[in-house]
Amino acid sequence: MIPRKLAPVLECVARQFPVVTLLGPRQSGKTTLVQALFPNHVYINLENPQTRALYREDPRSLLRDGSEPLIIDEAQREPEVLSWVQVFADRENAPGRFVLTGSNQPRLGEAISQSLAGRTSIHHLLPLSLEELAPKGRKNSRDALLVNGFLPRLHADRISARDLYGAYFATYVERDVRQLVNVRDMASFETFVRLLAGRTGQLLNLSSLANDVGVTSTTLAGWLSALEASYVIYRLQPYHDNLGKRLVKTPKVYFTEPGLLAWLLQIDSPEQVSRDPLLGGMYENMVVVEALKAAYNRGAEPRLSFYRDKSGLEIDLIREEQRRPFAVEIKAGKTFKPDMLETLRRFRDLTVDLAGSALIHSGDETTTVDGIRIANHAETSNVLFGS
């Protein structure tokens, strides 16, 4: 198993809370991680139909009457299980007694808010980060990273990215969306997701997408929420402060798995990536998601956004540090050019209390110019959150 940065955070909270909850997309490594960290816990997988049938027949028996520490995998499949966990946790009052995992936020989130408020520490695990890949010597090129992606299974088994993401979309994405919303026309849904992939890093325009797909924007809003709830996409919200009314209010959408994004765009090889007109958006997607992983892996709130005003000034990524913005410009190019810093300088002139700024690019140059840090994408986590 590739060591995960979140592991020490989970070990720490397991000494403080009776219940630890780990959420994240399918195949991100949740089960592997919790089984490695808590080897003495009894493992129960509610994704298994037979296990669910046993649970419905005799929940106390399946759950060992709460007398043994438990890992309950895919807990959203039977949300009422959290009521039993609450009873057992209150009775035993032992830290780290129960570990829950889930890949569907609304069902599990609602159940947690009702049953486990104050009893659980909630964390998120996304697929492998650049930080986690680097110690294993997997310093792949920009284009290889974008097409292969970060699913642990791909890096462990060295299987075909095209085959893996095709199966991933059919097996998990479509099924999870069906569990959340009633999708009658899967062909239209797949068209929508592929069109969304083509607009990665752009302002979200549901009306335009609705016209292209041939369904209502209300329907698309439901599909989008389902994709977000299943951790397939991440909505990056616009930055707001006292610069106020000049700012746009429309979010951008990114895919939490860059490899799935490449598959949706029908990009099968690193050679295709470098020639594709969407390279900039794909690279920006990877860096934004890397920032999201870096926050989650530290047990921190992401507090990520982007800046764009009506004059056209745009900053790709902002992380707030104690209400102070840290601005990041993202460029897919491998050669640093001084004019890449222009928008960061303009934003600095507008901002009274800037925490710092950086340019993330795919080249090897690492330096500081005019107070702006220049770094490779492998340093995204360190640039934004420190070592």
d(CA 169, CA 167): 5
Domain ranges of the chain: 7-124, 130-385
7-124 carries CATH number 2.120.10.30: no
Residue 35 has pLDDT above 90, yes or no: yes
In the numeric block, the tokens 């310093």 are attached to: 139
Radius of gyration of the CA atoms of the chain, in A? 22
Most confident among 130-144, 175-189, 334-348 (mean pLDDT): 334-348
Q: What percent of the chain has pLDDT over 90?
A: 74
Phi, psi of 356 (to 5 degrees): 160, 175
* CA-based nearest residue to 343, from 376, 309, 315: 315
Average pLDDT, integer, range 279-286: 97
Q: Which residue has the higher pLDDT, 352 or 16?
A: 16
Mean pLDDT across the chain, nearest whole number?
Answer: 91
What pLDDT shows up at residue 387? 67
pLDDT tens for each residue of 158-210: 788 889 999 999 888 877 787 777 777 888 999 999 999 999 999 999 999 99
d(CA 317, CA 328): 5
**Beta carbons of 29 and 4 less than 8 angstroms apart:** yes
pLDDT tens for each residue of 69-80: 999 999 988 988
Residue 107's pLDDT band, with cuts at 50, 70 and 90, is low
Q: Judge whether 7-124 and 130-385 match in fold.
A: no
**CATH of 130-385 given 1.10.260.40, 1.10.10.10, 3.40.1180.10, 3.30.230.10:** 1.10.10.10
Average pLDDT, integer, range 353-367: 93
Most confident among 93-97, 246-250, 325-329 (mean pLDDT): 325-329
What pLDDT shows up at residue 185? 82
What DSSP character marks residue 203?
B
Residue 243 has pLDDT above 60, yes or no: no
